[in-house]
Amino acid sequence: MHEQPSNSLVLRYFLVFFLIVGLLLGRLLWPFISIIVLSYLLATIFEPIYKRLNRKFSNSFSSLITCGLIITLVFIPLILFVGALSSEALSLFQYTKETNWVLKARAFTEQSTIPGRIEDFLALFGLHIKLELGQFSQLFSDFVKVAGHFIYSQASSWAANILSFILNFMMMVLIIFFLLIDRQRLLDYLLSLSPLPDDQDKRLIDRFEKISEAIIVGNGICGLIQGVLGGLIFVVFDFASPLLWGGIMGVLAFLPIFGIGLVLLPAAIYLFINGNVSGGIIMIIFYVIISFSIEYIFKPKLVGSQVQMPTLLVFLSIMGGLSVFGFLGIIYGPLIAACFLTLAEIYHENYRLDLMDE
């Protein structure tokens, strides 16, 4: 008879085998990881609607109606926006090629007394700076050309790959359909596999879901408001491609430090260069009012204080997420940072003293 292996050896063998199979499964699912994560986040956000429908209808029918609502609210507007974005980006790129902003800046410098006043004001503090607005205008013009061409190429790529986009979205809707029905059962199963205490697992998942809801719903709504208002102010001042710039401001609104100021402040400078001093002042006042009211009044009430993170960490996590994950890094970056903070809190409360005693 063969000698029975020790329990520790069996456990080690099982863990190695389990780890290998888990890595293989992860390799299989990795191409769809973005779709899976977005599906889970959307299922979490729309789950209250599903539960309300589920009181009167079956699980499958309630999930089907909820998925139809997601298609109506997310998919159709996104398709229309991408098409309009592609068209406006091309128009902006052509406009910047035909507009000589350097000559306008030079004419403004020669005719206006504002640059001289600014130079005299800076001289009072020992700063003898010669304002060469022509050089700034050239840099700004080049930046707009590059940005317009980049956005146009990206939007055109999305439009050209519209079939792939539709297939990915349909796959996401299919995943959402089953997640709405079995999400709690799936969570309970994953929690049963975790060696952490149930209260710590639930705390981590709860923080993850609250942060995701704050990012997609809270920041999404605030970004939409700022993008719409920014696009409208561009319409008022007759800027080219207001829809495009409104979309850019809607995305930049996710950045907590600079935000829509990356568009509105250069727009104000452009108005100054073209001699519209009152318009430039109005643009700056508009930026200050919108940023302050949204960031410090509306967003905290919408998101809540329990999911707030340090502003610098949010900014760095978004920028890092963009560099690692692309556009979806706006969502993934803060989620990873939030999970780290939650784990750090759990460690500090439950394990730090135990490790120090050892």
The DSSP-derived string for 106-121 is HHHHHH-SHHHHHHHH
How many helices, marked H, and strands, marked E, lie in the chain?
17, 0
3-state SS, residue 254: coil
C-beta separation of 90 from 153 below 8 A:
no
Q: How far is CA 196 from CA 95, 338, 356, in A?
A: 59, 18, 20
Nearest partner of 255 among 329, 315, 327, 323, judged by Cα:
315
* pLDDT beneath 50, residues of the chain: 1
Contact call for residues 205 and 320 (beta carbons, < 8 A): no
Amino acid 217: pLDDT: 76
Which residues fall within 8 angstroms of residue 59, CB to CB, at 6 or more apart?
Answer: 181
pLDDT at 65: 93
pTM here is 0.67
Scan for tokens 């905290």, then name that residue.
300
**What are all long-range contacts of 270-276, with beta carbons under 8 Å and residues at least 24 apart?**
270/101, 270/140, 271/237, 272/108, 272/114, 273/101, 273/104, 273/105, 273/108, 273/133, 273/137, 274/104, 274/108, 275/108, 275/111, 275/112, 276/237
Reported as a single tens digit per residue, the pLDDT across 13-55 is 888 888 899 899 989 988 888 888 888 888 888 888 999 998 8
Q: How far apart are CA 109 and CA 215, in angstroms?
A: 43
pLDDT tens digits, 298-337: 776 666 555 567 777 878 888 888 788 777 787 888 888 8
57 φψ region: left (φ > 0), alpha (ψ -120 to 50), beta (else): beta
Residue 24: what pLDDT?
93
Tokens (6 digits) for 239: 């800027």
Residue that is written with structure tokens 């302050």 in the block: 292
SS3 195: coil
